[in-house]
Structure 1
Amino acid sequence: MQTVLFHSTIFGPIRSRRLGVSLGVNLTPDDGKICSFDCLYCEAGFNAQGPGTTGFPPRERVARLLESRLKNMSEAGEPLDVITFSGNGEPTLHPEFGGVIDDTIRIRDKYYPSAKVSVLSNSTRLDREEVCKALRKVDNNILKLDSAVTETMRLIDRPNSPAFTSEKVIDEIAQFKGQCIVQTMFLRGEFEGRKIDNTTPEEVDALIEAYKKITPREIMIYSIDRKTPAETLEKVERPELERIGERIAAETGIPVQVA
């Protein structure tokens, strides 16, 4: 079974194809996975591997480890473009997420004031005001929308909540009024006998209408780049992604980054 990617709270820096030189922050366990989605393409594996034993890292520990790493990097003259919250699950599930963001901004300003703070979120916690308040403070509030069609979204992302729909999440992302980036994974294939394809004209039409409603400052589209737990998925090659991106940009007027 494919298992978690990150075995520490602070990892990297790595070169992100979307964000540049990125120092990662994992707010979920370092020996298991906790997520409100169970995406077919998740590089950290399926939720079935379990939550592990270490739990959410305490806020104070995150701050201490982050400051130590940034101090060492700064003294060594190492470059840094972004501090990115991702890891082995959904970062906004951390019970002290808002406080962690406050600490991170304070520490960033001390050592790398020009670096951005980015959060990669699956958008499942946007019904919580404390989460939204924290996301409004970061430089790059990157929110997932893999399909504007609920049936397709549920096939790809497999949310834990049966009440989670594309309509609900589109409304919740729209509350940021442009203070966000929407990220969409394009893929096709099949899983457990069901065909999956969010690249069809109907799917792209629905996404375009959703993007128009949300009005993000940018749209990121990408496809599979590493091994996935569902091995029957297919990567959408860059020329096709670029054609989809060109159509989205033309019909929405919103910048599209193809990663």
Structure 2
Amino acid sequence: MSTIIYPSPIFGPVHSRRLGISLGINLMPADGKICTFDCIYCECGFNEDHRTKTPHPTRERIAEALEAKLKEMQQDNIHPDVLTFAGNGEPTSHPHFAEIIDDTIRLRNKYCPQAKISVLSNSTFIHRPKIHEALSKIDNNILKLDTINTEYINKVDRPTQPSYDVHRIIADIKAFNGQAIIQTMFLKGTTEDGYDVNNTTEKFVAPWLEVVKEIGPREVMIYTIDRETPDQHLQKATHEELDAIRDRVIALGIPCTASY
């Protein structure tokens, strides 16, 4: 199967469907994947297939590499729209995530003050005070909430922490007081063992919408699979399905974008 393991600590810039010209910051090792989810749709593959043998990049190395790349882009007259923490796993799991955010803000202000800082997170560590504080400093705090159905989460997102509780996650997102962005994957098809993963149906959309309304995020981003997935039986949600869900979010008074 074809999967993407990103360079570390800097990759791109790439063109993001949702964010524009994005310079990626990968806080995981370059030789594999470390994540608190093991999503069946992850473009980086299954966790067990990409075990790392090297340590996380250090705070100092990340800052040096980011500064060097921003200098290079400045010289080439390339202006990033966003500096995006993503890559081979959950960025907030890096032991020095909060300090790295401070470094990134400083370098952004120096080299590309117009650029936004975004973090793509699966929300598993946002209950930690230092992580919450760090995410409160950035422009786009993008937090995953694919569904509120526990069975679906265990079959599709597959949290690696036995303590994962979607209701706690919802409460932790609410603690950002409307400044979080919710990101939700909609897809169809079945898992390799035949579980129906279609979360575009009313069974999943209606309760998800209720929680979105309860959280009151700044924005919602919905999307579907765009690259090859480690589970080969998955299918994209259609434009029409995504547009219908998007319109229902907008009807709640919450901005929403759909990426196909």
TM-score tier by shorter-chain length is over 0.9
What does 1:108-257 correspond to in 2, within 5 Å?
108-191=108-191, 192-250=193-251, 252-257=252-257
Could you tell me which amino acid in structure 1 is paired with residue 114 of structure 2? S
Structure 2 SS opposite 1:194: coil
Q: Distance in 2 between matches of 1:222 and 1:233?
A: 14
Report % sequence identity.
Answer: 52
Over 2 Å off, 4+ runs:
1-5
User: Do 2:189 and 2:197's aligned partners in 1 also have CA atoms closer than 8 Å?
Assistant: yes
- More deviation, 5-14/34-43: 5-14
Structure 2 SS opposite 1:118: strand
Shift of 1:2: 4.3
Say what the alpha-carbon RMSD is for the aligned residues. 1.1
Shift of 1:3: 4.2
Q: Structure 2: which 5+ residue stretches go unaligned?
A: none
Q: Deviations over 1:39-61 (max 9, x none)?
A: 01100000012432222100000
Shift of 1:198: 1.0
Aligned residue in 1 for 2:57: 57
Aligned residue in 1 for 2:91: 91
User: Do 2:8 and 2:57's aligned partners in 1 also have CA atoms closer than 8 Å?
Assistant: no
Q: Distance in 2 between matches of 1:124 and 1:182?
A: 14
User: Do 2:148 and 2:208's aligned partners in 1 also have CA atoms closer than 8 Å?
Assistant: yes
Aligned residues: 258
Q: Does 2:29 correspond to 1:29?
A: yes
Structure 2 SS opposite 1:68: helix
Structure 1 SS opposite 2:68: helix
Shift of 1:4: 4.0
Shift of 1:31: 0.5
Structure 1 SS opposite 2:56: coil
Q: Distance in 1 between matches of 2:97 and 2:249?
A: 33
User: Do 1:221 and 1:257's aligned partners in 2 also have CA atoms closer than 8 Å?
Assistant: yes
Q: Distance in 2 between matches of 1:3 and 1:136?
A: 32
- Give the TM-score, by structure 2 length: 0.96
User: Do 2:187 and 2:198's aligned partners in 1 also have CA atoms closer than 8 Å?
Assistant: yes
Q: Structure 1: which 5+ residue stretches go unaligned?
A: none
